[in-house]
Amino acid sequence: MAQQAYVTETAGGGSGPERRGVRLRSLFSRPAAGRRGDPRIWRRGLVTALCAVLLAVVMLVHSYIPNAVGNIGSLVETFLPWLGLLVPVLLLVALVRRSATALIAVVLPAVVWLNLFGGLLTDKSATGGDLTVATHNVNADNADPSGTARDVAASGADVLALEELRASAVPAYEKALASTYRYHSVQGTVGLWSKYPLSDVRAVDIKLGWTRAMRATVTTPDGQIAVYVAHLPSVRVKMEAGFTARQRDKSADALGEAIADEQLAKVVLLGDLNGTMNDRALNAVTSQMRSTQGAAGNGFGFSWPATFPMARIDQILVRGIEPESSWTLPQTGSDHLPVAARVKVTTSGS
């Protein structure tokens, strides 16, 4: 009886090291008891574990998801980074369910996501570069074209591309940008403004029947570069048809062919490609150029929609030029955010 009283007093009314010792023993005895007497910690949460494995597989083999039905592969790739939000949700469910199996399984999608996008979480921007470029889909329904033009010009861009130019608004953009950019050309619904001379300016046929892409040679103090401006067709998500992007894909192939035929070694592509760098439908372009955001950005650089950016569909891609930094600009009167980059035209091979 005396021994029993002592144990009761230590467990319930002790203090200091004795009480802490009881708590630690109690804490570590629960998992041990679970392993020995409660095998449910391994049987619970099997559905959660299966969901975690499926999520990991989708992210790991996204390029093999077919586009044959509703372009589902491209749809997944457009919003691929957001699948990472499911990882903490699955982790929480696993903890609530007290499932060891689910907890282990959740590690798989976490590792895959970090392998795909972990590099975008670090700041890779540098302070060098000798040319600043920017691009902005200004929105055909922009109520303040002059203000939008002044906002993007304030970025300090030496070369500026604008897409979705309404013919009636072009004079407003030209007037607002005239004091900053001495040279410019508008081809159809896209335009290029530059502080440096433009030559060999021409429209680029991207198989639409009207002009939404152009090319120009920009003669910078460090040499000539070919600058392409493009606005690929929009995509839509429809219940009956899925991710409708056939026209966008056809135009991307045509743009890729034009860039592949480019004679100048140094090339910059500015524009709204209506697709992300993960979207295999843009391979004709992305396979031969580097993304400034991926190489020298800070974060994902989402550009659309401006009020709550969810995807990087406005791109600055380069070939034969070294990206130094990339960033998004503040919101204007458009539904897209402008994006800018600082690049190094003078490379070691120049």
Cα–Cα distance measured from residue 277 to residue 311, given in angstroms and rounded to the nearest whole number: 10
Q: Which two tokens stand for residue 197?
A: 């001379």
Query: Where does the pLDDT of residue 2 fall: very low under 50, low under 70, confident under 90, or very high at 90 and above?
Result: very low
258-266 average pLDDT score:
98
Residues in the chain: 350
Rounded mean pLDDT, 24-41: 53
State the average pLDDT over residues 210-223: 97
| Predicted local distance difference test score (pLDDT) of residue 245 | 80
Give the CATH number of domain 123-344; options: 3.40.1690.10, 3.30.420.40, 3.60.10.10, 3.30.70.1350: 3.60.10.10
The mean-pLDDT minimum among 12-26, 262-276, 305-319 falls in 12-26
Q: What is the mean pLDDT of the chain?
A: 89
Listed in sequence order, the DSSP H helices in 135-288 are: 145-153, 170-177, 246-260, 283-286
242 pLDDT more than 80? no
Q: Range with the lowest mean pLDDT among 41-45, 49-53, 211-215?
A: 41-45
145-161 pLDDT per residue, tens: 999 999 999 999 999 99
Domain boundaries, the chain: 39-120, 123-344
219-230 mean pLDDT: 97
Residue 343's pLDDT is what? 98
pLDDT of residue 70: 74
Residue 326 CB burial class (10 angstroms; 0-12, 13-18, ≥19): buried
Q: What is the pLDDT of residue 15?
A: 52
What global pTM score does this model have? 0.84
